[in-house]
Amino acid sequence: GEEVAQTPKHLVRGEGQKAKLYCAPIKGHSYVFWYQQVLKNEFKFLISFQNENVFDETGMPKERFSAKCLPNSPCSLEIQATKLEDSAVYFCASSQAGGSYNEQFFGPGTRLTVL
Amino acid sequence: KNEVEQSPQNLTAQEGEFITINCSYSVGISALHWLQQHPGGGIVSLFMLSSGKKKHGRLIATINIQEKHSSLHITASHPRDSAVYICAVALSETSGSRLTFGEGTQLTVNP
DSSP 8-class letter at B97:
T
Look at B97 and A40 and tell me if their CB atoms are within 8 Å.
no
**Average pLDDT of B14-23?**
98
pLDDT in tens, A18-75: 999 999 999 999 999 999 999 777 999 999 999 999 999 989 998 899 999 998 899 9
Q: Residue B108 and residue A5: Cα distance in Å, rounded?
A: 28
Question: What's the gap in Å between the CA of A73 and the closest CA on chain B?
Answer: 22
Look at B96 and A105 and tell me if their CB atoms are within 8 Å.
no
First to last CA, chain A: 34
Q: Residue A16 and residue A84: Cα distance in Å, rounded?
A: 9
Closest CA to A115 of A14, A10, A11: A14
Question: What's the gap in Å between the CA of B49 and the closest CA on chain A?
Answer: 8
Chain B's closest residue to A88, CA to CA, is B41
Chain B's closest residue to A104, CA to CA, is B45
Look at A101 and B30 and tell me if their CB atoms are within 8 Å.
yes
Instruction: Output the DSSP codes for A49-110.
Output: EETTEEEE-TT--TTTEEEE--TTS-EEEEESS--GGG-EEEEEEEESS-STTS--EE---E
**Average pLDDT of A69-91?**
95
Residue B93 has pLDDT above 70, yes or no: no
pLDDT at B29: 85
